[in-house]
Amino acid sequence: MYLKAACSDIPVSRQRPRLDRCPSSIQQRQGAGTRVQPSSPTSCLPGSFEASRPREQQSLEELLHVHSHLFQASIQPTASMVYRNLGKSGLRVSCLGLGTWVTFGGQISDEVAEQLMTIAYESGVNLFDTAEVYSGGKAEIILGNIIKKKCWRRSSLVITTKLYWGGKAETERGLNRKHIIEGLKGSLQRMQLEYVDVVFANRPDSNTPMEEIVRAMTHVINQGMSMYWGTSRWSAMEIMEAYSVARQFNLIPPVCEQAEYHFFQRDKVETQLPELYHKIGVGVVSWSPLACGIITGKYENGVPETSRASMKPYQWLREKIMSEDGRKQQAKLKELAHIAEKLGCTLPQLAIAWCLRNEGVSSVLLGSSNPSQLTENLGAIQVIPKMTAGIATEVDHILGNRPHSKKDYHH
């Protein structure tokens, strides 16, 4: 179960290496992509013809020096994002993504949202997730405004949204063909985008036949409104049914499932979804790696007024924290903090890296309310190599909730 994910470290640098003290003539030639020829006396700095030769030589040496630095920058490892395939599709996504649930359009200002997206993008994050229901559509609007303002290349981004709850009318919700098409059009208008990369069915819909759902998802993909589709909070059986329908009618199957996954929520991602990953290629985009903030340790002494659990819509979270199980979880977190200390990381970083140790997890969505929190969570990248089988066993021993998979049984 603790197989290390096959992923590649790709150095990411969105800023070009600085060309310190590079003569403007050299920069111009380099930028134009032309071959550098020996300069004529008139192209050199003022001086006699005899003086031009050493200056020519100096310019060429500086140019070679610049190219040498550029070459070194291209091969030397930097603090880099890790990329994985989305399920077994060919789409490469950053193993850490930024989610907009609760935060965008609600908990944080538009300015903070822009800061978070900028930090994420400049750190190599390419996956940004939202939904039509988040803050009544405001999250999509804010996300789209930021992308437009920053002038980021659309091709460098993986934008995902989710459909199910679109409006108050009976026809503005569900996964029927009408709402999938109209709902996605609405999302694209709010985000000012021509397409999303993945559209998710935000929950199962017992009122709509599976064939209708798969046909509608295939339609929006064929129309260029989305590149792929996935599921969110679907059971393994429902995902398998969608795959079977797609194969039966030559339609497009889902590529991934969005699932809750953290220290205290393990069964589905560790026992049900691995089989789907190996059999039909469905990967996992996991959310809430810190269990809605519980794993940060901030609820150790109660519920802070500025926390999510203090908000009215999240009364259920407050009750969960204050329950007997909640107190037991806090005790386990204190023990897990010792492992984090041993690895030289924070507890949230340990929790996120622990999620990424799973080979079927394509990406973990982070939800942050301030820049320092996001920067800390992105640091989990450095902890992934430290998540050895021994560390995983220590974590299991403390949690005491490792689910049994088929591999655990010997026939």
Residue type, 9: D
Q: Give the Å distances, CA to CA, from 320 to 260, 335, 364.
A: 16, 20, 23
- To which H or E segment does residue 392 belong? helix 389-399
313, 369 in Cβ contact below 8 A? no
Q: Which residue has the tokens 């500025």?
A: 306
- State the number of CA atoms in the 13 A half-sphere of 352 facing the CB: 28
Q: Which residues contact 313 (CB under 8 A, 6 or more apart)?
A: none
What is the Cα–Cα distance from 158 to 302, expressed in whole angstroms?
A: 37
How many angstroms separate the CA atoms of 29 and 24, rounded? 9
Strands 92-94 and 82-85: antiparallel
The amino acid occupying position 403 is P
Q: Which of 83, 134, 243, 277 is catalytic?
A: 134
Give the strand pairing for 196-201 and 283-287.
unpaired
Does residue 228 have an active-site annotation? Answer: no
d(CA 294, CA 327): 11
Half-sphere exposure for 267 (CA within 13 Å, toward CB): 3
Strand 82-85's sheet: what is its strand order?
Answer: 8-9, 82-85, 92-94
CA–CA gap between residue 5 and residue 143 (Å, rounded): 30
Amino acid identity, residue 266?
Answer: R
Question: Annotated active-site positions, please?
Answer: 134
